[in-house]
Chain A
Amino acid sequence: LAELPPAARRLVEENDLDPKQIPGTGRDGRITKEDVVRFMKGETQP
């Protein structure tokens, strides 16, 4: 979890998400806050 950027970390913790399920579109596959927001809305494509 510490490898997530701070805003994504907060969202994942608050919503009990599994980061492994979230496709990361950031540099080198990093999960951005945008990715988490889209994942929670059910959008998987960026």
Chain B
Amino acid sequence: MANSYDVIVIGAGPAGYVAAIRCAQLGMTTALIDEFRYKDGKPQPGGTCLNVGCIPSKALLDSSEHYHKAREELQVHGITAKDVSIDVKKMIERKDKVVRDLTGGIHQLLKANKIDFKTGHGKLTSNSTVEFTPHEGAAEELKGEYIILATGSKPIDISAAPADEKSILTSNGALDMEEVPKRLGVIGAGVIGLEMGSVWNRLGSKVVLLEAQDEFLAPVDRQVSRMAQKAFKDQGLDIRLGCRVTDTKVGKQVSVHYEDKDGKHNMQVDKLIVSVGRRPNTDGLAADDVDLLLDERGFVHVDDECRTNLPNVYAVGDVVRGPMLAHKGSEEGVMVAELIAGHPGHINYDTIPWVIYTHPEIAWVGRTETQLKSAGIPYKSGTFNFAATGRARAMEESVGMVKVISHAETDRILGVHMVGASASELIAEAVVAMEFAGSAEDLARIIHAHPTLSEAVHEAALSVSKRAIHKAN
């Protein structure tokens, strides 16, 4: 039967498409429903991450970084590049091609795994039926032994600055600006705000970030966030903390009214990006008579193994509790597929790495000193600066540090925090060590290639027991 499946997955983002592929690998007949349409109107799998998130933002971060390097950073190597210019339209086109190629790849994978990819809206009508409404044509009912909800998240809009995607943009629109705004305002100095602010700052915008919180990057280790904040300031990012946006007026420019502890202010920008957070996408997810339980913040309520309150219905990714990260959603997708197939499934939520792809990059896993202090857990820590590693100096990338935190008595690693070039890659070693319940001494006794940036991780681990070689402990 073409309308009856072992598993129906709603949402083809990193959580949903991975769940679907894993289900198919485990021998289940699988349908994958997704309603996203790219700006050319074509349906594309991949969800937020591939289409308007992780991948396009990294594409622009890399392009803008090359431009910035060519203009500002090559001279020190004795390289003179004359008349370096940027064609923003071409930069955006390259980004679009990267997105198209990768979503095309997902398409192929779905086909290869014999997954029935259906483009349109999926609505839960019972714990074993989904109403599928294609973009064109009539709705049909699909039956599924199991159903996985992976409908993701969308940008939070604020009434003081309603997005029109022309002057006031969400993160989606910020990825498609075709010229460099002279002045760019960003509301929210979190991951998305900092990444988008960095892109346009490198291309020449005067960027001001207005952050409501008094603390910069509150979830990040203090030492790391302070080093990052200074680096961003040196790059020209104007980060203003404790600022609450009260109103905006769109004319030729955008007039942004905000308040901080010193009173009321107003600034004029050419474009304004609103990146204050994302919320779970549960709009039209379940029919009115389906009693799908949401939690108090609007997420689909699930247990530790991503089961909803409805039998045989699971939910994964941004639509459920936990960090809104692609790799978190994908792992939940895999876990659920394996649970459905009767295998044990488990996720270690304590070892999910976080990355901010600014320059320098910020990455961390596990807990910060602040969190450990408030939990009353005794710890020790060690740090090491990139400035003291040969490779970082050779690369002219000496801004950065690594901090390793371990339990005061057992030495088990509790958190690793870093800022610096390639932190996004360096964090993987810490994740592996933590997954194997490793100690700081384990990291310290593992051989690290020389010269590499990973030596900063090694030395930070050594520094926990005051044995770092290349610093006075």
How many pairs of residues, A versus B, come closer than 8 Å at their CB atoms?
48
Per-position binary interface string of chain B over residues 408-442, scored 1 when its CB falls under 8 Å from any chain A CB and 0 otherwise: 01111000000000000000000000011111011
Contact present for A33 and B412 (CB under 8 Å): yes
| B442 & A6 in contact (Cβ 8 Å cutoff) | yes
B437's contact among A6, A10, A27, by CB below 8 Å, is which?
A: A27
In the complex, what residues of A have CB within 8 A of residue B445's CB?
6-7, 10
Q: Would you list which residues of chain A between 7 and 40 have a CB under 8 Å from chain B?
A: 7-8, 10, 25-27, 30, 32-34, 37-38
Cβ of B407 within 8 Å of any chain A Cβ, yes or no, is yes
A26 to B106, CA, bound (A): 35
Q: When chains A and B are docked, how far (Å) is the Cα of A25 from the Cα of B436?
A: 10
What is B's interface to A at a CB cutoff of 8 Å?
Answer: 407, 409-412, 435-439, 441-442, 444-446
Give chain A nearest CB distance to B393 CB in angstroms.
28
Task: Indicate if the CB atoms of B411 and A6 lie closer than 8 Å.
Answer: no
Q: Which 9 A-B pairs have the closest CB atoms?
A: A6-B445, A7-B441, A33-B439, A34-B410, A32-B437, A26-B437, A7-B439, A7-B442, A34-B412
Which of B435, B436, B439: most chain A CB closer than 10 A? B439
- B-binding residues in A (CB < 8 A): 5-8, 10, 25-27, 30, 32-34, 37-38
A39 CA to B435 CA in the complex, in Å? 21
The answer to whether A33 touches B436 (Cβ under 8 A) is no
Contacts of A37 in B (CB 8 A): 409-411
How far apart are A21's CB and chain B's nearest CB, in angstroms? 18
Do B436 and A10 touch (CB < 8 A)? no
Q: A6-B446, A7-B411 are in contact. Are A34 and B437 (CB under 8 A)?
A: yes
CB atoms of A38 and B410 under 8 A apart: yes
- Identify 11 residue pairs between A and B in the complex whose beta-carbon atoms are under 8 Å apart, listed by A's number: A5-B442, A6-B441, A10-B441, A27-B437, A30-B437, A32-B439, A33-B412, A33-B439, A33-B441, A34-B437, A34-B439
Residues on the A chain within 8 Å of B436, using CB = 5, 26-27, 30, 32
Tell me, in angstroms, the Cα distance from A42 to B411 when the chains sit together.
Answer: 17
By beta carbon, the residue of chain A nearest B435 is: A27
Q: Which residues of the other chain, B, contact A7 by a CB distance below 8 angstroms?
A: 411, 438-439, 441-442, 444-445
Q: How far is the CB of A22 from chain B (nearest CB, A)?
A: 13
Q: How far is the CB of A7 from chain B (nearest CB, A)?
A: 4
Task: A5 to B410: give the CA distance in the assembly, Å.
Answer: 14
- Measured in the bound complex, the distance between the Cα atoms of B441 and A38 in whole Å is 16
Q: How far is the CB of A19 from chain B (nearest CB, A)?
A: 15
B residues in contact with A10, CB < 8 Å: 441, 445
CB distance from A36 to the nearest CB of B (A): 9
**Closest approach, in angstroms, between the C-beta of B112 and any C-beta of chain A?**
31
Q: Are B442 and A33 in contact (CB under 8 A)?
A: yes
Docked Cα-Cα span, A25 to B435, in Å, equals 12
Closest A residue to B445 by CB, please name it: A6
B412 and A32 contact, CB distance less than 8 A: yes
Chain B residue nearest to A30 (CB atoms) is B436
User: How many angstroms between the C-alpha atoms of A44 and B410 in the bound complex?
Assistant: 13
Known contacts A6-B442, A10-B445; is-contact A33 B411 (Cβ 8 Å): yes
Q: In the bound complex, what is the Cα–Cα distance between A37 and B354 (angstroms)?
A: 30
Question: How distant is the Cα of A30 from the Cα of B438 in the complex, in angstroms?
Answer: 10
CB distance from B204 to the nearest CB of A (A): 49
A33–B465 alpha-carbon span in the complex (Å): 14
CA distance A33 to B407 in the complex (A): 11
